[in-house]
Structure 1
């Protein structure tokens, strides 16, 4: 889905402006997030140092020993080819006790940059590339200012809110992963289509492309061999991104950018349509209220499952390995 899917109402002037915008647009935010996630994983593996790890009884059990201190924990410890649970905990994995009882709220942020293993990391990077590039590319075409900043806000805020909801419902496990943030981008992609529906010219192709994007990312999550799926992290990230999409990703009306060249006294269009303003305001209120309530409940040491009996059915599957990765 590119700029050709957007209806041209401004004639040749609009097309020229779009082409100018295309030539000035550069993709940089998504690659930056990818590099950051990879760099953090390398640091984690360096700190883990499997051959010298006291949690590994026999150094020979390390996987890919030729990597030396970057070798992976035994598959009985971590089947995703990654560090030990102790290392993830040490470097900022999300755990209710550490966040609420020990007042280590910073874990709500650090956990989204940690990954349980190479397979976990690759699954999230692939999803990030598929969704993130589409968002950043699409808004490069429609000339929304500070495109990368808006997509970045959605990614980071979604990841943080995913951590809050995860900690509110899940205890006694260590949760890591960026898929809450990735699901936020997926939610934003859907709300962007809804709020900008009238500007798209090829609507059947748009819906088909959207289904393909959603299917690809659900397949990536479903095919991952991870045994611990942080369902609440996924839900929290998706809902946050969905609401933020209405707030941050609305496209201005056609002709709004060109109004500065109109003669004085000419009636001006509002930047957004009335339904876009309505969706943005309602979404912002729901986001602020929901986040505030969840955060207050978390630090009052309440268990979200006590207020939602059926939510226990969504709790991540846990094993004796002790971590719950966000796939």
Structure 2
């Protein structure tokens, strides 16, 4: 359902963009890509190599932009930006990742809980991104997707006792997470949204993805001596309370800092390395 919603939103955005209405072939031969799609055709590749709309269209329709959130009180952009994509390539990459990550989680925990994690993690990614990135717009579901990865990791820990091959499962998941976060240190990638979404999803997994301990569901069919007395184990309750408190405090502090116009770099001078690491091959804008 989330995949379908993202595709529909992208089609609507392309219709609103209406490339032929404001782009004509220039002296360099640049014109709308796939012109046979008429108003749904893409911006010239020199403007958007991802086969998508213009940045001005994305900004008008809800892309995340710091000054509009803080000074024009458009907090709704913290949510709308996760439904927008910069182009077909961006959309396909995110939706394939969503299918790969989300199907298993949805089968095990249901659409409502996974949908909540997706939305709240996307919101968390937007908040952290806004605290650090001020000079460009940001769109995409990557923060929400990283939230699902974080939830998968915390779900492994909180339901530790019911899993076999625990080490292999955690190692595989950690490798996937590290690789994806490492990609985020390339220029023009909003790694703060990734990190914010991941941390939010990690905490939400402890809150929303607890499983009853082994034997709880079957307790009525077991001898009295073999029945368990509590639905969840003690460590699950501890992780639930700790994660919930961190979520509440984290969102409260983050939103207060954001709407007061504070710059995250004033509190973390080295954090720019989390989003882009300069090398001899590229530089990082400030």
Contact 2:187 2:275 (C-alpha < 8 Å) held by counterparts: no
Output the CA distance in 2 between the equivalents of 1:57 and 1:156.
38
Residue 150 of structure 1, CA deviation: 1.1
Q: With the length of structure 1 as denominator, give the TM-score of the two structures.
A: 0.77
Aligned to 2:259: 299
Output the CA distance in 1 between the equivalents of 2:169 and 2:271.
34
What's the CA shift string for 1:273-311, capped at 9, x where partnerless? 011111111111111111110000000111111111011
Q: Does 1:309 align with 2:276?
A: no
Residue 195 of structure 1, CA deviation: 1.2
Residue of structure 2 aligned with 1:98, choices 49, 64, 68? 68
Aligned to 2:81: 111
Give the SS at the match of 2:135.
coil
Aligned to 2:159: 196
Output the CA distance in 1 between the equivalents of 2:234 and 2:34.
58
Aligned to 1:51: 20
Output the CA distance in 1 between the equivalents of 2:260 and 2:183.
34
Whose RCO is larger (CA < 8 A, sep 6+)? Answer: 1
Q: Hey, which bits of structure 1, 4+ residues long, moved more than 4 A? A: 211-215, 260-268
Output the CA distance in 1 between the equivalents of 2:165 and 2:246.
31
Output the CA distance in 1 between the equivalents of 2:85 and 2:167.
37
Q: Does 1:127 align with 2:90?
A: no
Contact 2:65 2:136 (C-alpha < 8 Å) held by counterparts: yes
Residue 80 of structure 1, CA deviation: 0.6
| Mapping for residues 63-212 of structure 1, pairs under 5 Å | 63-137=33-107, 139=108, 147-207=110-170, 209-210=172-173
Q: Decide whether aligned partners of structure 1 residues 305 and 250 sit closer, same or farther in structure 2, where only a CA change above 3 A counts.
A: same
Aligned to 1:252: 212
Output the CA distance in 2 between the equivalents of 1:36 and 1:85.
21
Q: Which runs of 5+ in 1 are unaligned?
A: 1-31, 318-327
Output the CA distance in 1 between the equivalents of 2:261 and 2:172.
43
Give the SS at the match of 1:176.
coil
Aligned to 1:27: none
Q: With the length of structure 2 as denominator, give the TM-score of the two structures.
A: 0.88
Give the SS at the match of 1:174.
coil
Aligned to 2:237: 277
RMSD of aligned alpha carbons = 2.5
Q: Does 1:239 align with 2:202?
A: no
Q: Decide whether aligned partners of structure 1 residues 106 and 204 sit closer, same or farther in structure 2, where only a CA change above 3 A counts.
A: closer
Residue 134 of structure 1, CA deviation: 2.0
Q: Which runs of 5+ in 2 are unaligned?
A: 278-286
Aligned to 2:10: 41
Contact 2:216 2:227 (C-alpha < 8 Å) held by counterparts: no
Q: Decide whether aligned partners of structure 1 residues 129 and 165 sit closer, same or farther in structure 2, where only a CA change above 3 A counts.
A: same
